[in-house]
A = this chain, B = another copy of it.
Amino acid sequence: MAPPPLRCHEETNGSNNTKTNGVTVVANNLLLDAEEFRRQGNLVVDLIADYYAGIGDIPVHPTSVTPGFLLRQLPAEAPAARPGPEAFTDALRDIRDVILPGMTHWQSPRHMAHFPASSSTVGALGEALAAGINAVPFTWAASPAATELEMVVVDWLGAALRLPEPLLFRGGGGGTFVGTTCEAILCALVAARERKLAAVGGHRAGDLVVYCSDQTHFALAKAARIAGVRRLRALPTRRADAFALSPRAVRDAVRDDVAAGLVPLFLCATVGTTATGAVDPVGDLCAAVKKEAKEEVWVHVDAAYAGSALVCPELRRGVDTMEAVDSFSMNAHKWLLANTDCCAMWVRDPRHLTDALGTDHDVILKDAAAEGHHVVDYKDWSLTLTRRFRALKMWLVLRCYGVEGLRDHVRAHVSMAALFETMVRADPRFEVVAERRFALVCFRLRPPPLLPRSNGFSNGGGHHHHQEEQQQEEEINATTSGPYLSSATVAGVYMLRCAIGSTLTTERHVVEAWKVVQDRAAFLLRRQI
């Protein structure tokens, strides 16, 4: 039976619409025109380049804005009619003149708050390339090269960090790129939970216990809440242990829980805690927990920040015995130049991930080429179906900078932090309040000696001093040419955190930052007299 002939197009009145087979076809908008992309793309490249060129000279965060400042400047509704071609140029001007002045500039060389979100030219452009290609590699078939590049690059990165071979594809494990550590921990926790409940029965869901320290990032507590695991033991750390989780405390907690009829499930060890950069003794923790629990306890290592430092052999102290861990995650967007977001996660046995997170009834995603082969379908490795081609930027970073380039990058920041620490120690008004392992220096003004001792770990001035420190932080951050710092309270002591890691930070910025800290301290101390 012959198909019916197709009637010719005819233009409909007054537009580019056509009428074909009786159907009016609306002309499309050419919103992905190659030459338009080239023109607009060059404007964007210039805007970003100019931003980098000037970023050292503007305040690192907007000291003058108050909540609502932008809400008040923008119209309540999106434009209704389609604007003309000048709209893009106008929008870029607004980005430069209205939006950027209201941003906190994470790429400023004086951004020393939180942890860095380190950029590189190839990291940023890798993200731009992925956005341009805009593939959605949820299965192998949905973009074979994207899936396989991800498999290659997680092994490259894992090897560069000298992770245990069993966590790499080539050692029987495997890895993937997700957005954030919050997601990685949740994936690992759900995988552990499903494995455990399969063994002990679903009715024991309320008896599962998760272990961590009081320094563990709240990502774990959040993941546990999302997963409905209600028992979380945040074991106390001590300054004497450099705020690391004690294997003995874990062993005791596990033993007590087993004795109480509970089910130890998951231990999260941290390499580089958020507050002070502490390193939990991973090997000893694995030994403690694997020995004490009757059933298997899943050990996850959260190396969100300091995972990047593992490229340097001299920064691996205490992290070389990770053979027994079940999963490991680190944020390559924090300190390894991969731009936000790029969290790498590896697991010893990917089957536990895919058992917990896989979906097997989705006929819609099957593909002939992949059938009968063992392929990785990354949708079954994480929380989401839709995912970006994050491997591309990580591949570019490794390819263009090499492992040695990444080492230099990390060492530069570590050495600048060492310089900052030296300057703090040389000033008797200040003290360093936690061991510096990486590029984070935790310090404070020494409390006035005449005030009564607080419950802090040194002769702290208690609440009064706490307020002073907070005020110092605010004053430092209010200086338009100063650094942007953040703070933490550990063991009752308020401390300033200087986290060096912005790609643009050089020695000069560190020296100047310290000068601002000293100036504000002098100002505060004068006022007290």
Contacts and interface: CB of A to CB of B under 8 A. Distances in A.
A201 to B, nearest CB: 12
Interface in A238-255: none
A95 interface: yes
Interface stretch (A285-293, A412-420, A451-459): A412-420
Interface in A338-375: 339-341, 343, 356-357, 359, 361-365, 368-370, 373-375
A261 interface: no
Given A83-B399, A402-B78, A186 B226 contact: yes
A235 to B, nearest CB: 16
B24 A399 contact: no
Given A128-B127, A135-B106, A78 B398 contact: yes
Given A25-B507, A121-B32, A400-B91, A384 B99 contact: no
A422 interface: yes
A488 B141 CA distance: 16
A31 to B, nearest CB: 4
8 contacts: A34-B52, A41-B41, A41-B45, A47-B132, A66-B373, A98-B145, A107-B133, A227-B228
A396 to B, nearest CB: 6
A373 B66 CA distance: 9
A20 interface: yes
Given A33-B121, A419-B25, A91 B399 contact: yes
A80 interface: yes
A260 B107 CA distance: 57
Contact-size category for A: 35 or more
A200 interface: no
A48 B130 CA distance: 10
A46 interface: yes
A152 to B, nearest CB: 5
A70 B145 contact: yes
A186 to B, nearest CB: 7
Closest 4 CB pairs of A and B: A102-B145, A41-B45, A228-B228, A127-B131
A6 B424 CA distance: 12
A419 B333 contact: no
Interface string A498-523: 00000111110001000000100000
A49 B34 contact: yes
Nearest to A202: B230
A294 interface: no
Interface string A312-345: 0000000000000000000101000101110100
Interface stretch (A155-163, A263-271, A295-303): A155-163
A4 B45 contact: no
Contacts of A100: 133, 145
A402 B51 contact: no
A504 B32 contact: yes
B38 A49 contact: yes
A172 interface: no
A183 to B, nearest CB: 6
B383 A226 contact: yes
A486 interface: yes
A431 B146 CA distance: 36
A79 B398 contact: yes
A307 B356 CA distance: 29
Contacts of A3: 426-427, 518
A199 interface: no
A34 B36 CA distance: 24
A386 interface: yes
A190 B29 contact: no
A152 B74 contact: yes
Contacts of A422: 21-23
A524 interface: no
B144 A69 contact: yes
Interface string A119-158: 1111111011101111110001111111011011001110
B128 A363 contact: no
A403 interface: yes
Given A117-B136, A145-B70, A20 B419 contact: yes
A529 interface: no
